[in-house]
Chains A and B, each alone.
Chain A
Amino acid sequence: MKKNRNCFLGICSLLLILTGCWDVVNIEDRGFIIGNSIDLVDSANSDQPELLVTNQIVIGSGIPSAANEGGDKKAFINFKTTGKSIYKMEEEIATISNNTPFYEHLTTLIVSEKVAEKERLFTNLLDTYLRNVNLRRGIQVVIAKNEANKVLEYTTPDFPLPAMHIEEMLERGSRETGLLSPTTLGDIEEYQLNNNSYVLPYLELKDVLSYQAGAVFHGPKDKMVGLFNMDDMLALSLFRGEKTTKIIEAPFKDNTFTLQINRLNSTLNVDSSDISAIKINLTLEVEGIIKETFMTEDLSSQKVVESVQDEMSKEISKRIKETFTKAQKEFGTDVFRIWQELETKHYEKWQKIKDNWEEGEYYFKDAQLIVDVVTEIYSIGAINRTR
């Protein structure tokens, strides 16, 4: 009896060890997938188009480090699979790679422009990524011009891993310019659930990989509708009052000067008394430093500074209006998030118009924008004039 009990306990404890141990995969046996790209192969069947998914797997020994020169070895392999279901394709990776695919370090998802432009397809693709618990919500999503898988092959000497390079580039870029903050999978889900329009970073691979634009997504239509260039992005950022350092140049009497915006305060007021012509009042208070001039005027004079400030205000309001018109008339997307103001401050009106804001009756299209900019030059820099 006692012997049996001991035996039983022994077997039970073995089970305990076994259940834990069969999940063990040593770190060197894992294939760290750091980047994914999705391209469209065949769009003949519009319901279920065929896709090309590229998985970038790290080869650790190829990464140059102090101990390991790296040599001619590549730091990554791109595995390409085609098919209709993303998840099925990911499973296929396991059959061609000698390592267990591991998605927890996936940092970037690059989606081809062509995929994004197809209605509903982009959302459906993201569903796979959001549904799978092994994938993180912090994955950065970018749109690429033409073929997305080419972007995953772009390396620089100091960044041997393309996916990490893109992540780093987006982070550094947004910090420096104050524009195009990286958008994660979690953010996009939030936009999609709210049926909002949003802007994603847009990459272009020519000689170098650059990102000079934003891809505008139309919320209700659920597809990419166009591009915002950098000026549009700047205007969008100013409109939203995002508190990051920005550089803006403005003309002044045949010359130009550059202002670095250090402080920005934007106040949005919406007058919704007439829903067919909603009035949007934007007040911007801008404070900045003159970084660069091609002028000969004496900046130490109050008058000159005041006229420079006026010019700047005009320039800013002009740019915002241009971009607003572009978004309103060309794309019909409220990327300025005026709906948010309506929802929080004019809730009853919003309930009436919310289904007809960016579609149907299109109340957004008839909205009028009034921009009021006050610029203050905080410092003209260390010198007055060079000559």
Chain B
Amino acid sequence: MVRSIMNRRKRKKNSQPQQHKYPQNLSKQLTSNVNNLKQILGEPHDLKIRQLKLGEGNITCAITYIDGLVDSKTVQVSILANLENAKQLPTEGKELFQHIYNKLLSVIHVEKGKTLDEITLPLLSGSTLLYIDGVETALIVDTSGGEMRSIEEPVTETLIRGPREGFIENLQTNLAIIRRHIKDPNLRFKTHQTGRRSKKNLVVAYVDGIVNPALVKEVERRLQSIDIDIVLESGYVEGWIEDSFLSPFPQIMNSERPDKVVAALMQGKVAILLEGTPFALLMPINFSNILQSAEDRYERWIIGTLLRGLRYFAAFLSIFLPALYVSLLTLQPGMLPSMLAFSIAASREGVPFPPLIEAFMMLFTMELLQEAGARLPQTIGQTIGIVGGLVIGEAAVQAGIVSPIMVIIVALTAISNFAIPAYSIAISFRIIRFGFLFASGIFGLYGIILAYIMVNIHFVNLKSFGVPYSTPFAPFFKRDFHDVIVRSPIHQIKDRPEYLQPQDTVSMDNQGEKK
């Protein structure tokens, strides 16, 4: 079997298409240059070319850009207007080129490009090209801009107290937001290009001096191994660089909250931001990180601690509640309080399905509702709530297909699942829940324990960028516990997490006292 996989991989490698590369030099003829460009791009109608004659020498030059990618105001004011209003221009091509390069462009970033390859990528990223007849070099003027979404409150991670800004699809803006939070010269943004065809910018962000250099090295090594033609979303990157793709648990956290990313950077983690998506990736993470909300630190510590406890409890309910229900009703009814057992028995009288099937049906319906609600426009989404909550819940009980207790269990499970702050882990809980359900259907409480042991074995084996997923519980780091289940008062959290092995271990050098 192994051999067949190897063979398939070999075949794939052979059939890999050749990348389009244009190491061709630019010619002196303006028209041939422009035609070459047109030919490469396939004469798209959003490629704008403006030809104009400059100075007494009437030297032809051409401005080309792609409509929508550039800030057209910059093109008009800082390039076109300057060229047209310029006086006493040199009459010779090369001199004119130097003159324009040195004096006439009121744009900060200007480069020279000599090959077609060098100029096409900037053009497609929003730069404007300036050709001059008789010169083999083109000017690449950075005019990128165009329409983008304004900064809004992140939809997936709303907080009651906390910054109201979220990342947007524009990478520069996202980086600027992070810079505004950390005005430390040690903040590093390392740019990579990903996707053979998409050539998207990807930024690895970390704070030099805090982060463990080995971690950055490992992240970059994994990033360099990415070999796909297009990287649409940070999920593509996550899927490529995560430790175990078979695990139900996410090993990289995603967030569209800048404050969350900044907090992680200051702990000594690494963030990856990708052009075109508001979701940044954070790594390495452990299980306790996922059950923490950014708000834990913003509210007072007592509230933060209690809410964290509540979330751990919600996680427990979300995974185990249906399984406990099934095992207590089928194999261990002796463990229920007597009166509760009698009333459940009475409420289940006439229900045609055994508890396992009943629970599975209801949970499955719940999953359907959740999926349907997530994909629908908001206006129709409300209908789903009514249909699901009232019709299916109430009517199913009235029709005698399920018992009222089951509806309570399903509702409680769903609510508990919504109380978990990260959507990615909430999904994995939903998956595991079904496993526990079937285990309990077969062996009752004993089955739950067996399934738990299996999950636990996987859990302690799992790593995120070399950091065990179950830290700081196992391996145990005593000092990290002031921010795991209990969120200690701010002035007591002196150390950065030990499991990250940061270079700068203390966040409070003078024990909270000013020098």
Contacts and interface: CB of A to CB of B under 8 A. Distances in A.
Given A17-B442, A28-B348, A28-B349, A34 B338 contact: yes
B17 interface: no
Contact of A27 (B329, B442, B447): B329
A60 B345 CA distance: 6
Given A21-B442, A27-B348, A60-B343, A102 B333 contact: yes
A32 B342 contact: yes
Contacts of B346: 60-61, 63, 65, 68
Given A16-B442, A20-B442, A20-B443, A58 B342 contact: yes
A52 to B, nearest CB: 25
A184 to B, nearest CB: 15
A328 interface: no
Contacts of B355: 26-27
Contacts of A60: 342-347, 349
B329 A26 contact: yes
B361 to A, nearest CB: 15
B230 to A, nearest CB: 38
Contact of A30 (B339, B345, B441): B345
A130 interface: no
A139 B344 CA distance: 22
Contacts of B333: 27, 30, 102, 104-105
A105 B354 contact: no
Nearest to B326: A24
A55 to B, nearest CB: 15
A21 B339 CA distance: 26
Interface string B329-360: 11101100011011111111101001100000
B334 A104 contact: yes
Contact of A25 (B330, B342, B348, B443): B330
A202 B339 CA distance: 25
A81 B339 CA distance: 26
Contacts of A25: 330
A381 to B, nearest CB: 39
B369 to A, nearest CB: 25
Nearest to A70: B346
Interface residues of B, number: 25
B351 A28 contact: yes
A136 B117 CA distance: 83
Q: Is the interface of B mostly helix, strand, loop or mixed?
A: helix
B323 to A, nearest CB: 13
A63 B331 contact: no
Interface in B353-383: 354-355
A104 B351 CA distance: 23
Given A16-B442, A104-B333, A104-B334, A26 B349 contact: no
Interface string B442-461: 11100100000000000000
A274 B341 CA distance: 58
Nearest to A107: B338
A63 B343 CA distance: 8
A136 B444 CA distance: 20
Nearest to B354: A26
A164 interface: yes
A24 B326 CA distance: 10
A268 B198 CA distance: 92
Contacts of A102: 333-334
Interface residues of A, number: 26
A32 B345 contact: yes
A23 interface: yes
Nearest to A31: B345
A383 to B, nearest CB: 43
Interface in A138-163: none
A21 B327 CA distance: 11
A67 B407 CA distance: 15
Contacts of A32: 338, 341-342, 345
A107 B330 CA distance: 21
A290 to B, nearest CB: 40
Most interface-central of B338, B342, B355 (chain A CB within 10 A) = B342
B373 to A, nearest CB: 29
B343 A65 contact: yes
Given A26-B354, A27-B355, A28-B351, A164 B338 contact: yes
A53 to B, nearest CB: 21
A174 to B, nearest CB: 19
Contacts of B342: 32, 58, 60, 63
A106 to B, nearest CB: 9
A164 B443 CA distance: 31
B330 A24 contact: yes
A166 B344 CA distance: 22
Contacts of A104: 333-334
Interface in A205-252: none
A61 B349 contact: yes
B115 to A, nearest CB: 55
Nearest to A58: B342
A23 B331 contact: yes
Contacts of A65: 343, 346
A34 B342 CA distance: 10
A60 B348 CA distance: 10
Nearest to B405: A27
A12 to B, nearest CB: 14
Nearest to B338: A105
Given A16-B442, A17-B442, A24 B354 contact: yes
Nearest to B442: A20
B338 A26 contact: no
Interface string A57-85: 01011010101100000000000000000
A23 B354 CA distance: 13
Nearest to B447: A20
Contacts of A20: 441-444, 447
B450 to A, nearest CB: 10
Contacts of B330: 24-27
A164 B442 CA distance: 32
Contacts of B334: 102, 104-105, 136
A164 B339 CA distance: 9
Contacts of B331: 23-24
Contacts of B344: 27, 60
A58 to B, nearest CB: 5
Most interface-central of A28, A65, A68 (chain B CB within 10 A) = A28
Please give me the 5 A-B residue pairs with the lowest Cβ-Cβ distance, nearest first. A60-B346, A104-B334, A20-B442, A60-B345, A28-B348
16 contacts: A21-B441, A23-B444, A27-B329, A27-B333, A28-B351, A32-B338, A32-B345, A60-B343, A60-B345, A60-B347, A65-B346, A67-B347, A102-B334, A104-B333, A136-B334, A164-B339
Interface of A: 16-17, 20-21, 23-28, 30, 32, 34, 58, 60-61, 63, 65, 67-68, 102, 104-105, 107, 136, 164
Given A63-B346, A105-B341, 16 more contacts: A26-B330, A26-B354, A27-B330, A27-B341, A27-B355, A32-B341, A32-B345, A60-B342, A63-B342, A65-B343, A67-B404, A102-B334, A104-B333, A136-B334, A164-B338, A164-B339
